[in-house]
């Protein structure tokens, strides 16, 4: 192994090798390899039923793999649950964002990790501190300012602002190692989509590796360094974004490279 290749391999923050998952008689994943480098945005694409959601649920501790191994920072790990994966620094923002619409942004950022102060033997929420820390996080790490909406319930926020709040909740803990984003631009208009793509680039610039699952190849190419393609439960290619094209990736998704064998007519 040459020195450059060795350095690249040592830079992996996440490696999944030979991941296989069955649901009854259905093989959802078949011997899938996947890797993510530090400070990298990796696109994960494939048609419906390709196995993207199953792979991500295994990498975030929702499902156990039936076979294969996962290495986090070069160390083998067994992800026992979603909470266990979170404790190891693997966070996720799913398409539904899982926000409480009636709470303000800061309360959503700290949901499940509220800051409280003791008083007369009881714990009281420190809403002022949570609001200050949440707004500073959004401003300093994501370059998002809520302005007059800082105390408003999140149902008043735009789609891009809601996305930033969900990301803020995911990255608040300093030990975050990986962020998974499931269809982050789905149902967003052009302006909000561009803001979300900018958020992903900002996360990368802060050194947070991101896995982006998306159907829109334009968006994937806009933010990713590499793209992993799944088809029918198998990994069929990993491509450098700079050295590939949407046409090539689409061909891998639909299997266009599997050329039909045309019977010979016997004529010269």
pLDDT of residue 149: 87
What is the domain-level CATH number for residue 39? 3.40.50.300
The DSSP code for 147 is: G
pLDDT of res. 265: 46
- SS in 3 state form for 97-142? CCCCCCCEHHHHHCCCCCCEEEECCEEEECHHHHHHHHHHHHHHHH
Whole-structure pTM value: 0.87
Instruction: Determine if residue 151 is left, alpha or beta; phi over 0 gives left, psi from -120 to 50 gives alpha, anything else beta.
Output: alpha
Spell out the per-residue pLDDT of the chain, length 268, in tens: 554 444 455 689 999 999 999 999 999 999 999 999 999 999 999 999 999 999 999 999 999 999 999 999 999 999 999 999 999 999 999 888 889 999 999 999 998 888 888 877 788 888 899 999 999 989 888 888 888 888 899 999 988 889 999 999 998 877 899 999 999 998 888 998 998 999 999 999 989 999 999 999 999 999 999 999 999 999 999 999 999 999 999 999 998 755 444 444 444 4
pLDDT for residue 115? 86
110-116: list long-range contacts, CB under 8 Å, 24+ apart.
110/134, 110/169, 110/172, 111/169, 113/172, 113/173
Tell me which residue range forms the domain holding 210.
8-89+177-254
Is residue 45 included in any domain, yes or no? yes
For residue 125, tell me if it sits in a domain. no
pLDDT for the residue numbered 124: 84
| Domain-located, residue 117 | no
* Structural domains of the chain, count: 1
**pLDDT for res 263:** 46
Please tell me the distance from the alpha carbon of residue 176 to that of residue 162, in angstroms, as a whole number.
Answer: 20
Does some domain include residue 166?
no
Within 10 angstroms of residue 91's Cβ, the number of other Cβ atoms is: 22
For residue 51, being part of any structural domain is answered with yes
pLDDT on residue 50: 95
């Amino acid at each position: 192994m040459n020195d450059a290749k060795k350095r690249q391999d040592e830079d992996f923050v996440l490696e999944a090798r030979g991941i296989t998952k069955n649901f009854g008689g259905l093989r959802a994943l078949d011997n899938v390899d996947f890797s993510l480098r530090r400070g990298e945005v990796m696109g994960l694409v494939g048609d419906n039923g390709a196995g993207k959601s199953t792979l991500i649920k295994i990498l975030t501790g929702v499902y156990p793999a039936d076979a294969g191994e996962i290495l986090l920072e070069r160390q083998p790990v067994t992800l026992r649950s979603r909470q266990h994966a979170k404790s190891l620094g693997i966070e996720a923002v799913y398409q539904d964002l899982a926000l409480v619409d009636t709470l303000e942004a800061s309360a959503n950022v700290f949901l499940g990790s509220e800051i409280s102060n003791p008083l007369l033997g009881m714990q009281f929420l420190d809403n002022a501190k949570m609001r200050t820390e949440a707004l500073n996080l959004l401003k300093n790490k994501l370059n998002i300012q809520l302005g007059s909406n800082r105390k408003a319930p999140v149902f008043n926020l735009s789609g891009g602002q809601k996305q930033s709040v969900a990301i803020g909740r995911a990255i608040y803990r300093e030990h975050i190692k990986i962020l998974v984003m499931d269809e982050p631009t789905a149902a967003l208009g052009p302006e909000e989509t561009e803001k979300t793509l900018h958020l992903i680039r900002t996360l990368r610039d802060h050194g947070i590796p991101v896995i982006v699952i998306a159907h829109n190849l334009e968006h994937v190419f806009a933010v990713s360094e590499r793209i992993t393609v799944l088809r029918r439960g198998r990994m069929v290619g990993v491509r450098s974004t700079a050295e590939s094209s949407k046409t090539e990736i689409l061909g891998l998704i639909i299997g266009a490279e599997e050329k039909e064998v045309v019977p010979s007519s016997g004529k010269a």
